[in-house]
Amino acid sequence: MSATIVIGPYSEADRAALTEAFAPVFVASPAELAGLDNATREAARAVAFKGHRPFDGAAMDLLPALGLIANFGVGYDAIDVAAADARGIRVTNTPDVLNDDVADLAVAMLLMRGREMEQASQWARSGQWKEKGEYRLNRKVSGGKAGILGLGRIGREIADRLAAFKMEIHYFARSEKETPGWIYHADPVSLAAAVDYLVVVLVGGKETEKFVSAEVIEALGPRGILVNISRGTTVDEAALLDALEQGRLYGAALDVFLGEPDIDPRFYALDNVVLQPHQGSGTVETRAAMAKLQRDNVAAFHAGAPLLTPVN
């Protein structure tokens, strides 16, 4: 009987590595745990979890000997950590190994929207360049003012990159941080009002739900570009769509959405939005590093050794 259950979609290489290390039982989602026989569920001491479907207390109760949920990803908002705490279950995540990729994508999205690269590419591809001449002038990005909403691990990497674009860096966090002279804002509306580009890098979950409110979006205003690589929940998406449709916000570049991948179809009709399919950490190298860190946490747990990257 296996002591490990693997939940979620894994690549062939990751499945092979998990199989070699733990000879686990695989299921597609937490909802499938109920379909496992009693002996399998009772033997499970660790879960390797990947995905964004909720892993709640009821799912944990199906595995009475569970001691660890090792999340694939730094954001663990799908896991009810309070429910895990109440059951003495440890939770781990995969921080840091993905910082560079997520920061790279955020900066690329900002440039892509600011310099209208999607539309300009279409101009070239469709032959309009040849027929109508040069593409319309767009906006300068270097030297602008950038706001980082959530100056954590990834937020800092983004700020460092944007500073290299000679941008003035402003940020919000719950307390002022040591920085190379970046400007602190104690509330998100003040941050949004001060910048042209607002990059959202908050944790997800209940506490940050709609942190980017209608008021924040209004403060960012008709010259403002919102970049979100955190979670769909951190932005008031209805207010964002209204502002984009009515030209009260210049544009947005989004990697995360409510209800993804079944996103609001209003996004498809907008040409002032860059859409990315939640691929912030989606490189071969980084996904392999995340998978290894997850396996290392599971192995440490089974060996009774300290967890590498604990959440609780």
**Binding of ligand NAP by 256 (CB under 6 A):** yes
- Three-class SS state of 60: helix
Closest CA to 68 of 18, 8, 5: 5
Residue 282 Cβ vs ligand NAP, minimum distance, rounded to whole Å = 7
CB nearer to ligand NAP: pick between 30 and 75: 75
Q: Does position 151 bind ligand NAP by CB under 6 A?
A: yes
Cα–Cα separations (whole angstroms), residue 54 to 29, 66, 67, 72, 215: 9, 17, 18, 14, 29
Task: Name which of 24 and 95 has its Cβ closer to ligand NAP.
Answer: 95
What minimum distance in Å lies between the beta carbon of 41 and ligand NAP? 29
Options 4, 233, 281, 286; binder of ligand NAP; rule CB under 6 A: 281
21, 43, 83, 173: which one contacts ligand NAP (CB under 6 A)?
Answer: 173
Among 24, 30, 95, 251, binds ligand NAP (CB under 6 A): 95
Question: Which amino acid, 175?
Answer: S
Among positions 8, 75, 224, 232, the unique one binding ligand NAP when judged by CB under 6 A: 75
The nearest distance, CB 296 to ligand NAP, in angstroms, is 18
The tally of CA atoms less than 13 A away on the side-chain side of residue 146 is: 31
- Whole-number minimum distance, CB 169 to ligand NAP, in Å? 14
The span from the first CA to the last CA of the chain, in angstroms, equals 28
- Name which of residues 180 to 239 contact ligand NAP (CB under 6 A): 201-204, 207-208, 229-231
One-letter amino acid for residue 288 of the chain: A
Please state the separation of Cα 159 from the chain's center in Å. 16
Structure-block tokens of residue 4: 């490990």
State which of positions 98-127 bind ligand NAP (CB under 6 A).
Answer: 98, 102
Find the part of the chain contacting ligand NAP (CB under 6 A) among 39-47, 79-87, 117-125, 278-286. Answer: 278-286
Report the residue number, 44 or 162, with the smaller CB distance to ligand NAP. 162
Which runs of consecutive H residues, i.e. helices, occur in the chain?
12-22, 38-43, 57-61, 81-86, 99-114, 117-125, 128-132, 153-164, 188-194, 214-220, 237-245, 284-303
* Catalytic residue positions, numbered: 231, 260, 278
How far is it between the farthest Cα atoms of the chain?
70
- 35 phi, psi to nearest 5 deg: -85, -5
Is the CB of 18 or the CB of 74 nearer to ligand NAP? 74
Residues at the site binding ligand NAP, with contacts judged by CB under 6 A: 74-75, 95, 98, 102, 150-155, 173-175, 201-204, 207-208, 229-231, 255-256, 278, 280-281
